[in-house]
């Protein structure tokens, strides 16, 4: 199959680069950065049965649901007539791990070929040199802006999740997110905000503005979400899971995108530690990891110093949560990160966890469903429910399962349950943190 | 205040009214026929009339189908498992665990020692619905099935994952003449296995177990089956049907309502009509008339030839129906019938033949042929002259209607068969995989559940205004989609039309996976009983945007084709049973266990009088003693014999057990040599069989992982029982680099399954479980890291001796792989000398396990071909560009083997084995197909799972060989 490359000329000609949405907040900021570097990026938000149908038609139905959705979304968009298909490119991330997700690009190319659209270039966003596009260069400043956007996105997502369920004036939190997405985008366009000092100031300002939102004092069920990265974040993938939980009166916590990036820089180090390999390469990854880690730490500090919000734990601590549960050599898909995130969530007081996975997701047989038994042995308060997502799974089934988990959580919250077996002392969670006060 | 608890299940509506002291003062149990809101309103009205004095009553709704209604009407809702728990706590406080089976749900609640609630996953079919479906298949009512099960003598293995799987096990049993008593009990055993495997997930079920829900209340044999498997005596308490309703009434969320006002409120909410819909099938009656007229034209004459000279008989013994056709010398149909086979085609076929001879007493049958699932048994019973594979029969028939036919699709009772025709030969066959059925019998079961016959039901959809969009997935998913649509107020017409559309979508997108109509073909003939329903036919044409041909005998095409085949190949004298023979005809069934080998197959022996016999249930040809069991060219068998030769040698350092699962099927020579050299006694786990699998199934955490992975649990259990000192089963992200791919990963399951074992097998006892991360791809680093592991586990080992052992192990591994490659070449040469076709049976090392591949290698050999493996030819191939990311070692071999086979002559062909649930094979399957078809060859894929039946596999392989000829 001929690979149509994305060339410099295409970039200059202003080709529209279509990117399927995943993390709502992050991707909006990233779009601005892409524009800043001369890429005419557009995030795809098209949803509905059309997307699923295109996916079913063009992707082997036993392939993971995320592949089906993102490819369906792209084809649906291309067919919509909104874009000049001779002046459009498609972008997908590619990790090159041992999970079949590394094959999304091949599957997309196959789908395009079947549509006689082989001339549409596909850009692989990867850091491992898998596929190169001459017109798409990841320069150091570009990468730095992208990473900063990831951290800002993580912070906005974290704060929004902790404020929205408690806000007195409905919509305050969302407005605050909007405001910051716009403001950060402007900063990036002006090429500002990259020095550590500016970054810290921005992080503090973000935390401050959320801390000013008036909130009710209320006890709510705290739910953590882990899972396959796409289904975990993308509303299209998880049937608007976050909105559903919000409507059910829950507070939600999700691990940040930066953790996945950190995990991706960390696993090559472990790989070399376990199997041997180039020590220089290891140092390179260490350097990258310590940079990413410092970004995350800045964010954690900003939360800790300026508010009572619950910050995530440092990457080092997060990784240590895998100890005794799963080996950190387990590195395909979300690998040990997913297991560690469950442990971290329980520790942070989000002991009700939804493990969102595409139906038949290979790594999650291991790191998700495969570890629940062990996790419950270590942290008996963990109330975990694995939820499968695929084109045939109906909302009613998924929501029914989640409601069961919430019923158990509610009982826990009410302190009812004479014969209940949760051992609070073991999990180390105090309930005093349940009430948010930020007046 | 009185409290009302309402439980809206997938098929039934349950209600209790409790008084102040929580005593039941009223209860009722009804089917709701998907009219949830209406029935609930009626129910509440009855309660209101029953207690006219109580205006204000407590009310809470529960049940999977009740959620939507409760939300819309604003009633208080309780999740049903939670409700169950509340009720059990009150009624059976000593309970340790609850097993509750509902219409479509299965649940286990662990109440003591860590509350846990488990519900069946979205793939694990419903149980009540499953039993109903099976009962329909047996032509029994569920309660009859219970009666039959009381008199069982033996239990057959029936795959229990979902209804579709089980069906493909039950149907052949029926066709082979197994007793309904035994099948009924086997179905219950399958339900038990499913519940335990799918839900217990590593937790032992013990203590006081409570059985709840419809199936367990109504069927004591189902309870008995649970008792047997769990080794205890569970209790089925009074009011076991009403626990969810009781729990709802007892729950703290119960809300006081004005009942009269609530009734009015519920009524207002009946049918919102908001659900995802497809365009209607027909705009108006006129359009339907035009459609009918067009299809009326495709007709074969059905004459009443008063004086036929000759007669040719064709029989298609399908999975749920029996079709038979007699042609005269002109090829016109003079006698035909289409009948439900009610599980046993033999007496029906006898009646058919008797009637024929009555009608035409002077005509002799010149030739006869049978096809379909029951080809063998009917052929043996009535002395038919020949049998042919179904695909050939259908093709022969379709040609009569459209000589240029290039695509045939047949949707039968339980299977979908499609094939492309190229150059006058069958080129590409699609059969529905076990997970994607949703065929005729699905429509039938659904129609039955809603109280209609299938044709009535399908006809209802013709004029539906807003057919429900149910997607294109398997039966079980459709069940819950229907549930959702019912919840959203879809009426019977729109559900019927929606089901017809989904059957079609399933065929097009799941089975054929067509991108557009042109990729199917220009001249399409549709057939099979399902297409006799105009709704299905119309949906098909709409989906394709193309007109197709539906013969008037769409349901008889297999039999018609067989008759044409018999006519064309008529022998000198026919062996077909004579009218006299029909009078003396007998059919006796007995079962015996074959002791020909360690499989100990349970055989069903059918005797028909006159020395005619038919034996079924065998996995090999041995008990039939028909063919000489001469030397077979089976590289699977050779490979297994190589592995068996690595016997345990006594060692002073203790015993190491190796679980024979997944990658160990290839690495055993390596680890055996390595540890033997270090002074250990190395023992493999025993051969896989059903009981080994069952012994480990309670520790399987994910019921959708592939079967080879699930089997590992049994091997670990076996090793633990053997009392080995240590089990060695390392995690391995990487495999050997064979230079064929850009990376050399293992798939995530192979790579990390030891982690799953460690996390879920809790009773390791004194046995050490060594599951470190190890990489064989870097020999020098391997020595260092494995040395550390050995020091930690066993103390003093010098680096030198470890290195020596590793060197020997690497050498042995290479020698082993070399032996396979050399033998492959030898077999190839022999096969060519003997002019035998060669099949490259492509899969993974663990497909060698006969419990995984179900003897498919032997089946291919029995069909007269030689079998070689992908790893025997992949070393012959230079690295090449693939269209997919090629970074897994095992998978790179598949691509290489496909390329090699594609470049060989017509005698070499690829058959790919794919384990159900293998995510990576969704990618490899398409790529192997592409590589194969690029060179104009036929690609054949066989999906395997727990299933033990080889019927479908045989069709596929026979069609392949027929096409090659």
Report yes or no on A31 lying in a domain. yes
The rounded percent of chain B whose pLDDT value lies above 90 is 41
Q: Which of B8-22, B438-452, B804-818, B928-942 has the highest mean pLDDT?
A: B804-818
Question: From the candidates B9, B98, B111, B752, which should be mutated to test the interface with A, based on the most A CB atoms within 10 A?
Answer: B752
Question: Of A101, A134, A167, which residue is a domain's last?
Answer: A134
pLDDT, position B436: 43
Average pLDDT over residues B575-585: 85
Tell whether B923 lies on the interface with A, counting CB pairs under 8 A.
Answer: yes
| CATH code given to domain B817-964 | 3.40.50
The reply to whether A2 touches chain B by the CB within 8 Å rule is no
Name, of B175-189, B625-639, B775-789, B930-944, the range with top average pLDDT. B775-789
**B116, B484, B509 member nearest A61 (Cβ):** B509
pLDDT value for B298? 80
Q: For chain B, what is the mean pLDDT?
A: 85
For B311-404+561-583, the fitting CATH number among 3.30.420.130, 3.30.460.80, 3.30.420.40, 3.90.550.10 is 3.30.420.40
In a domain, A148, yes or no: no
| Interface contact B749-A271, CB threshold 8 A | no
Contact between residue B483 and residue B65 where contact means Cβ atoms under 8 Å apart: yes
From residue B721, give the alpha-carbon distance in Å to each of A205, B75, B164, B193, B650: 63, 54, 34, 22, 19
Is residue A331 a part of any domain in this protein?
yes
pLDDT, tens only, B599-611: 667 777 888 877 7
Q: Using CB atoms, which residue from A63, A327, A370 is nearest to B702?
A: A370
Contact with chain B for residue A107, Cβ under 8 A: yes
**Are A226 and A359 members of one domain?**
yes
In a domain, A300, yes or no: no
What is the DSSP track for B326-343? EE-TTS-EEEEEEEE-TT
For residues B793-810, average pLDDT: 93
Taking an 8 Å cut-off on Cβ atoms, the answer to whether A49 and B469 are in contact is yes
Cα torsion through B268, B273, B275, B279, rounded to 10: 180
Which of A112, A358, A360, A423 is best to mutate for the B interface (most B CBs within 10 A)?
A: A360
Q: Does B594 touch chain A (CB under 8 A)?
A: no
B731-769 pLDDT, tens per residue? Answer: 999 999 999 988 899 999 999 999 999 999 988 888 999
Same domain for A251 and A376, yes or no, is yes
pLDDT for res A85: 92
Instruction: Indicate the CATH number of B3-92+246-268 among 3.50.50.60, 3.40.50.980, 3.40.50.2300, 3.30.420.40.
Output: 3.30.420.40
DSSP letters for B865-893: -EEEEHHHHGGGS-----SS---BHHHHH
> B407-548 has which CATH code?
3.30.420.40
Residue B502 neighbours by CB under 8 Å, 6+ apart: B438, B470, B471, B472, B478, B481
Residue A235 and residue A381 in one domain = yes
Residue B112: list chain A partners with CB under 8 A.
419, 421
Q: Which residue has the higher pLDDT, B455 or A368?
A: A368
Q: Which helix (H) or strand (E) holds B378?
A: helix B375-382
Rounded to an integer, the average pLDDT of B266-279 is 73
Whose tokens are 């050995």? That residue is B790
pLDDT at A429: 32
Give the pair of three-digit tokens for residue B334.
Answer: 């003079």
Domains of chain B: which residue ranges? 3-92+246-268, 97-236, 311-404+561-583, 407-548, 637-786, 817-964
Task: Answer yes or no: same fold for B637-786 and B817-964.
Answer: yes
- Provide, as residue numbers in chain A, all residues whose Cβ is less than 8 Å from the Cβ of B123: 359, 388
Q: Looking at A121-125, B289-293, B653-657, B948-952, which range is the least confident one?
A: B948-952
Based on the fold, state whether residues A354 and A242 are members of the same structural domain. yes
> What's the confidence (pLDDT) of residue A9?
92
User: Nearest-CA residue of chain A relative to B753?
Assistant: A366
Interface check A338 vs B, CB under 8 A: no
Measured between CA atoms, how close is B24 to chain A, in angstroms?
24
> Percent of chain B at pLDDT above 70?
89
Indicate the helix (H) or strand (E) that contains B407. strand B407-411
Residue B606 is encoded by which pair of tokens? 């059918």
> What is the dihedral sign for C-alpha B547, B553, B555, B559?
negative
Domain that holds residue A93: 8-134
Collect all residues of chain A within an 8 Å Cβ-Cβ radius of residue B729.
none
Contacts of B513 (CB under 8 A, 6+ apart): A60, A61
Closest Cα in chain B to A401: B119
pLDDT in tens, B300-351: 777 777 788 889 999 998 767 899 999 998 889 999 998 877 667 888 999 9
With a CB cutoff of 8 Å and minimum separation 6, the contacts of A411 are A417, A420
CB proximity A272 to B under 8 Å: no
Residue A104 lies in a domain: yes
CA distance B179 to B153: 9
Q: State the best of A4, A52, A281, A329 to mutate against chain B, taking most chain B CBs within 10 Å.
A: A329
Q: Looking at residue B955, what is its pLDDT?
A: 77
Task: Indicate yes or no: CB of B775 within 8 angstroms of CB of A275.
Answer: yes
CB of A393 less than 8 A from some CB of B: yes
Cα nearest neighbour of A110 on chain B: B883
Tell me: do A235 and A360 sit in the same domain: yes
**Distance of residue A249 Cα from the nearest chain B Cα, in angstroms:** 15
Minimal CA–CA distance to A198: which of A153, A190, A288?
Answer: A190
Residue given tokens 């009772």 in the structure block:
B413
Q: Does B399 touch chain A (CB under 8 A)?
A: no
Q: Which two tokens stand for residue B327?
A: 């042609």
Q: pLDDT value at position B513? A: 63
B735 touches A: beta carbon within 8 Å: no
- Between chain A and chain B, the number of residue pairs with CB atoms below 8 A apart is 230
CATH code of A38's domain: 3.40.50
Q: Is the dihedral of CA A353, A354, A356, A362 positive or negative?
A: positive
Q: Which of A241-255, B64-78, B503-517 has the lowest mean pLDDT?
A: B503-517
Q: Tell if the CB–CB gap between A332 and B122 is shorter than 8 Å.
A: no
A373 Cβ under 8 Å from any chain B Cβ: yes
Same domain, A233 and A127: no
Chain A residue numbers with beta carbons less than 8 Å from the beta carbon of B756 are 365-366, 370
Closest by Cβ to A56, choosing from B89, B472, B777: B472
Q: Does B768 touch chain A (CB under 8 A)?
A: no
Q: Do A98 and B746 touch (CB under 8 A)?
A: yes
**Residue A97 belongs to a domain:** yes
Residues of A in contact with B709 (CB under 8 A): 365
pLDDT value at residue B113: 61
Q: Would the CA dihedral through B146, B147, B151, B156 be positive or negative?
A: negative
Residue-by-residue pLDDT tens, chain A, 439 positions: 568 899 999 999 999 999 999 999 999 999 999 998 999 999 999 988 889 888 888 887 778 889 899 999 999 999 999 999 999 999 988 876 666 667 788 889 989 988 899 999 999 887 776 778 888 988 888 998 999 999 999 999 999 999 999 999 999 999 999 999 999 998 888 877 778 899 999 999 999 999 999 999 999 999 999 999 999 999 999 999 999 999 999 999 999 999 999 999 999 999 999 998 888 889 999 999 999 999 999 999 999 999 999 999 999 999 999 999 999 999 988 999 999 999 999 999 999 999 999 887 778 889 998 999 899 889 988 999 989 888 766 677 788 789 888 988 888 888 754 333 333 333 333 333 333 333 3
Query: Which one of A51, A65, A68, A98 would you mutate to disrupt binding with B, by most B Cβ within 10 Å of its Cβ?
Result: A98
Lowest-confidence range among A45-59, B441-455, B787-801, B867-881? B441-455
Contact across the interface for A365 and B111, Cβ inside 8 Å: no
Overall number of domains in chain A: 2
Helices marked H in B232-274: 243-250, 259-268
Tokens matching residue A362? 């290979």
Q: Is residue A363 part of a domain?
A: yes
* Residue range B97-236 in CATH 3.30.420.40: yes
pLDDT at B160: 59
Q: Of A134, A153, A181, which residue is a domain's last?
A: A134
What is the ipTM metric for this complex?
A: 0.89
- Chain A contact for B79 (CB, 8 A cutoff): yes
CB-based contact B755 A419, cutoff 8 Å: no
**CA distance, residue A162 to nearest chain B CA (Å):** 26
Maximum mean pLDDT: which of B412-421, B509-518, B713-722: B713-722
Q: Nearest chain B Cα to A111, which residue?
A: B515
> Does A244 lie in the same domain as A127?
no
Q: Which of A73, A108, A134 is the last residue of a domain?
A: A134
Q: Which CATH architecture has domain B637-786?
A: 3-Layer(aba) Sandwich (3.40)
Q: Is residue A145 part of a domain?
A: no
């Amino acid at each position: 199959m001929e690979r149509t490359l994305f060339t410099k000329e295409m970039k200059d000609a202003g080709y529209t680069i279509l990117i399927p949405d995943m993390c709502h907040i992050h991707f909006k900021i990233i779009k601005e950065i892409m524009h800043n570097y001369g890429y005419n990026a557009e995030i795809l938000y098209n949803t509905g049965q059309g997307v699923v149908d295109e996916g079913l038609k063009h992707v082997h139905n036993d392939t993971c649901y995320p592949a089906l959705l993102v490819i369906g979304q792209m084809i649906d968009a291309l067919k919509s007539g909104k874009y000049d298909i001779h002046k459009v490119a498609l972008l997908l991330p590619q990790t090159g791990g041992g999970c079949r997700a590394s094959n999304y690009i091949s599957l997309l190319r196959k789908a395009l070929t079947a549509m006689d659209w082989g001339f549409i270039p596909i850009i692989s966003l990867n850091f491992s040199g898998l596929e190169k596009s001459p017109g798409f260069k990841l320069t150091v400043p570009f990468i730095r802006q992208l990473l900063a956007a990831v951290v800002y996105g993580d912070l906005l997502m974290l704060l929004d999740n902790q404020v929205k369920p408690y806000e007195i004036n409905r919509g305050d939190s969302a407005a605050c997110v909007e405001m910051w997405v716009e403001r950060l985008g402007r900063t990036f366009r002006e090429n500002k905000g990259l020095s550590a000092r500016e970054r810290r100031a921005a992080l503090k300002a973000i935390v401050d503005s959320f801390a000013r939102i008036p909130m009710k004092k209320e006890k709510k069920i705290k739910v953590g979400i882990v899972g396959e990265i796409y289904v975990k974040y993308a509303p299209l993938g998880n049937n608007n899971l976050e909105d559903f939980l919000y409507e059910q009166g829950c507070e939600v916590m999700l691990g940040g995108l930066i953790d996945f990036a950190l995990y991706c820089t960390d696993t090559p180090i472990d790989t070399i530690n376990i199997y041997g390999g180039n020590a220089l390469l290891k140092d390179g990854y260490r350097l990258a990891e310590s940079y990413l880690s410092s970004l995350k730490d800045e964010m954690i500090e900003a939360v800790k110093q300026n508010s009572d919000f619950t910050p995530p734990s440092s990457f080092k601590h997060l990784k240590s949560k895998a100890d005794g549960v799963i080996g950190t050599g387990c590195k395909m898909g979300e690998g040990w990160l997913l297991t560690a995130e469950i442990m971290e969530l329980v520790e942070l007081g989000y002991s009700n966890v939804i493990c969102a996975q595409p139906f038949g997701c290979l790594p999650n047989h291991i790191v998700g469903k495969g570890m629940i038994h062990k996790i419950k042995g270590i942290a008996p308060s963990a109330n975990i429910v694995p939820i499968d997502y695929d084109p045939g799974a109906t909302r009613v089934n998924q929501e029914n399962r989640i409601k069961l988990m919430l019923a158990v959580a509610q009982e826990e919250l009410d302190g009812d349950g004479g014969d209940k077996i949760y051992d609070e002392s073991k999990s180390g969670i105090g309930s005093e943190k349940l009430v948010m006060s930020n007046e | 205040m009185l409290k009302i608890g309402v439980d809206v299940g997938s098929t039934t509506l349950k209600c209790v009214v409790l008084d102040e002291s929580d005593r039941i003062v009223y209860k009722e149990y009804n089917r709701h026929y998907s009219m949830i809101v209406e029935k609930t309103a009626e129910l509440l009205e009855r309660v209101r009339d029953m207690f006219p004095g109580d205006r204000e009553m407590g009310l809470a709704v529960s049940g999977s189908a009740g959620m939507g209604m409760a939300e819309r009407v604003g009633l208080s809702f309780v999740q049903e498992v939670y409700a169950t728990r509340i009720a059990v706590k009150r009624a059976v406080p000593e309970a340790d665990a609850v097993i509750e089976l509902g219409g479509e749900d299965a649940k286990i609640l662990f109440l003591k020692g860590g509350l846990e609630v488990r519900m069946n996953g979205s793939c694990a079919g419903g149980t009540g619905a499953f039993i109903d479906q099976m009962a329909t298949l047996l032509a029994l009512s569920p309660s009859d099935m219970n009666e039959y099960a009381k008199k069982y003598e033996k239990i057959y293995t029936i795959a229990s994952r979902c209804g579709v799987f089980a069906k493909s096990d039950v149907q052949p049993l029926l066709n082979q003449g197994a007793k309904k008593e035994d099948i009924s009990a086997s179905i219950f055993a399958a339900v038990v296995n499913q519940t335990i495997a799918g839900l217990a997930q590593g937790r032992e079920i013990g203590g006081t177990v409570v059985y709840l829900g419809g199936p367990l209340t109504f069927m004591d044999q189902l309870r008995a089956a649970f008792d047997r498997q769990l080794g205890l005596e569970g209790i089925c308490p009074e009011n076991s049907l009403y626990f969810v309703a009781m729990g709802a009434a007892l729950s703290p969320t119960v809300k006081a309502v004005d009942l009269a006002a609530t009734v009015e409120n519920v009524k207002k909410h009946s049918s919102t009509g908001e659900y995802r819909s497809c365009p209607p099938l027909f705009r108006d009656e006129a359009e339907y008339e035009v459609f009918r007229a067009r299809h009326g034209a495709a007709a074969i004459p059905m004459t009443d030839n008063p004086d036929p000279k000759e007669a040719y008989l064709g029989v298609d013994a399908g999975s749920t129906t029996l079709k038979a056709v007699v042609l005269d010398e002109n090829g016109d149909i003079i006698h035909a019938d289409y009948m439900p086979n009610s599980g046993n085609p033999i007496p029906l076929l006898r009646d058919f033949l008797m009637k024929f001879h009555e009608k035409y007493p002077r005509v002799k049958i010149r030739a006869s042929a049978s096809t379909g699932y029951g080809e063998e048994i009917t052929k043996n019973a009535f002395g038919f002259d020949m049998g042919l594979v179904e695909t050939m029969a259908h093709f022969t028939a379709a040609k009569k209607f459209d000589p240029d036919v290039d695509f045939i699709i047949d949707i039968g009772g339980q299977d979908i068969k499609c094939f492309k025709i190229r150059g006058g030969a069958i080129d590409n066959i699609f059969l529905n995989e076990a997970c994607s059925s949703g065929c005729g019998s699905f429509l039938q079961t659904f129609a039955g559940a809603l109280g209609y016959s299938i044709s009535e039901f399908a006809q209802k959809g013709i004029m539906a205004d807003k057919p429900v969009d149910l997607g294109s997935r398997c039966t079980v998913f459709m069940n819950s989609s229907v549930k959702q649509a019912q919840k959203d107020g879809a009426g019977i017409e729109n559900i019927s039309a929606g089901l017809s559309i989904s059957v079609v979508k399933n065929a097009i997108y799941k089975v054929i996976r067509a991108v557009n109509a042109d990729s199917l073909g220009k001249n399409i003939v549709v057939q099979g009983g399902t297409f006799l329903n105009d709704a299905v036919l119309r949906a098909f044409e709409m989906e394709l945007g193309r007109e197709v041909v539906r013969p008037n005998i769409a349901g008889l095409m297999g039999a018609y084709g067989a008759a044409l085949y018999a006519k064309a190949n008529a022998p000198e004298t026919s062996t077909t049973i004579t009218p006299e023979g029909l009078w003396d005809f007998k059919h006796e069934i007995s079962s015996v266990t074959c002791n020909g080998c360690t499989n100990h197959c349970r055989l069903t022996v059918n005797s028909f009088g006159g020395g005619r016999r038919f034996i079924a249930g065998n996995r090999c040809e041995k008990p039939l003693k028909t063919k000489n069991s001469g030397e077979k060219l089976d590289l699977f068998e050779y490979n297994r014999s190589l592995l068996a030769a690595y016997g345990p040698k006594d060692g002073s350092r203790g015993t190491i057990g190796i679980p024979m699962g997944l990658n160990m099927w290839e690495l055993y020579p390596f680890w055996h040599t390595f540890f033997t050299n270090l002074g250990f006694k190395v023992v493999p786990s025993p051969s896989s069989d059903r009981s080994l699998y069952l012994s480990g199934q309670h520790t399987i955490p994910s019921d959708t992982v592939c079967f080879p992975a699930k089997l590992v649990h049994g091997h670990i259990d076996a090793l633990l029982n053997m009392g080995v000192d240590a089990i060695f089963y390392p995690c391995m992200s990487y495999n050997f680099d064979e230079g064929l791919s850009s990376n050399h990963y293992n798939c995530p399951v192979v790579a990390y399954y030891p982690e799953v074992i460690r996390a879920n097998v809790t009773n390791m006892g004194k046995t050490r479980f060594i599951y470190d991360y190890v990489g064989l791809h870097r020999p020098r680093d391997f020595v260092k890291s494995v040395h550390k592991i050995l020091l930690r586990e066993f103390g003093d080992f010098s680096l030198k001796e470890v290195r020596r052992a590793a060197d020997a192990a690497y050498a042995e591994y290479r020698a082993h792989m070399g032996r396979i490659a050399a033998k492959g070449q030898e077999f190839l040469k022999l096969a060519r000398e003997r002019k035998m076709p060669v099949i490259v049976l492509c899969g993974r090392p663990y497909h060698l396990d006969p419990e995984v591949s179900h003897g498919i290698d032997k089946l291919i050999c029995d069909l007269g071909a030689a079998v070689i493996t992908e790893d025997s030819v992949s070393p012959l191939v230079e690295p090449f560009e693939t269209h997919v990311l090629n970074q897994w070692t095992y998978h790179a071999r598949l691509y290489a083997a496909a390329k090699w086979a594609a470049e060989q002559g017509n005698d070499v062909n690829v058959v790919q084995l794919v384990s159900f649930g293998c995510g990576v094979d969704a990618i490899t399957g398409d790529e192997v197909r592409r590589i194969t078809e690029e060179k104009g060859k036929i690609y054949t894929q066989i999906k395997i799972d727990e299933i033990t039946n080889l019927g479908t596999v045989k069709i596929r392989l026979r069609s392949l060989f027929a096409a090659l000829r």
